[in-house]
Amino acid sequence: MILVPPQPVLSPQTIAAIFLVVTIDDGGEDVVRALLADITGLQRSVGSRVPAGEATCVVGIGSDAWDRLFDGPRPAKLHSFVAVNGEKHSAPSTPGDLLFHLRAQQTDLVFEMATRIMGALDGFVTVVDEVHGFKYFEMRDLLGFVDGTENPTGDDAAVAVRVGDEDAAFAGGSYVVVQKYLHDMAAWNSLSTEAQERVIGRSKLDNIEMADEKKPPNSHIALNVIEDENGRQLQIVRDNMPFGSVGTKEFGTYFIGYSATPTVIERMLDNMYLGNPVGNHDRILDFSTAVTGTLFFVPTAESLDAPGRPQSLDCPEPEASLEDSLGIGSLTTSVDKGVLIS
Ligand code: HEM
Give the pLDDT of residue 308.
Answer: 77
Kindly report, residue by residue over 36-47, the tens digit of the pLDDT. 999 999 999 999
- 242 CA distance to ligand 1 centroid (A)? 13
Checking if the pLDDT of 337 tops 60, the result is: no
Checking if the pLDDT of 341 tops 50, the result is: no
Which residue, among 110, 116, 17, 33, has the nearest Cα to 68 in the 3D structure? 33
Task: For residues 57 and 114, give the distance between their C-alpha atoms in angstroms, rounded to a whole number.
Answer: 9
15 lines ligand 1 (CB under 6 A): no
257 lines ligand 1 (CB under 6 A): yes
Lowest mean pLDDT segment, chosen from 24-38, 178-192, 323-337: 323-337
Nearest atom (ligand 1) to Cα of 181: 21
Kindly report, residue by residue over 54-66, the tens digit of the pLDDT. 999 999 999 999 9
pLDDT band at 72 (very low <50, low <70, confident <90, very high): confident
DSSP-assigned letter for residue 207: -
Task: For residues 117 and 35, give the distance between their C-alpha atoms in angstroms, rounded to a whole number.
Answer: 8
**Buried (b) or exposed (e) across 17-47, using 16+ Cβ within 10 A?**
bbbbbbbbeeebbebbbbbbbbbbbbbbbbb
Q: What is the mean pLDDT of residues 244-267?
A: 98
Which residue, among 244, 253, 186, 247, has the nearest Cα to 220 in the 3D structure? 253
DSSP-assigned letter for residue 155: H
Rounded to the nearest 10°, the torsion over CA 42, 293, 291, 301 is: -10
Give the pLDDT of residue 3.
Answer: 56
Kindly report, residue by residue over 236-250, the tens digit of the pLDDT. 999 999 999 999 999
288 lines ligand 1 (CB under 6 A): yes
Which residue's C-alpha comes closest to atom 30 of ligand 1?
A: 224
- 221 CA distance to ligand 1 centroid (A)? 7
ipTM of this complex prediction, to 2 decimal places: 0.99
Checking if the pLDDT of 278 tops 60, the result is: yes
pLDDT band at 327 (very low <50, low <70, confident <90, very high): very low
150 lines ligand 1 (CB under 6 A): yes
Q: What is the mean pLDDT of residues 190-207?
A: 98
- 28 CA distance to ligand 1 centroid (A)? 36
pTM score > 0.80 for this model?
yes
- Pocket perturbation via mutation, ligand 1, pick of 93, 151, 220, 291 by most ligand atoms within 8 A of CB: 220
- Pocket perturbation via mutation, ligand 1, pick of 147, 264, 283 by most ligand atoms within 8 A of CB: 147
- 146 CA distance to ligand 1 centroid (A)? 10
pLDDT band at 333 (very low <50, low <70, confident <90, very high): very low
Give the pLDDT of residue 310.
Answer: 60
CATH no. for 13-330: 3.30.70.3420
Q: What is the mean pLDDT of residues 194-208?
A: 98
196 lines ligand 1 (CB under 6 A): no
Which residue's C-alpha comes closest to atom 18 of ligand 1?
A: 255
pLDDT band at 324 (very low <50, low <70, confident <90, very high): very low
pLDDT band at 315 (very low <50, low <70, confident <90, very high): very low
Kindly report, residue by residue over 286-308, the tens digit of the pLDDT. 999 999 999 999 999 988 878 87
Q: What is the mean pLDDT of residues 76-85?
A: 98
Give the pLDDT of residue 330.
Answer: 33
Over pLDDT 70: what percentage of the chain? 89
- Active-site positions read 147
Instruction: Give, in order, the Cα–Cα distances in Å from 301 to each of 57, 253, 257.
Output: 10, 27, 19
Give the pLDDT of residue 224.
Answer: 98
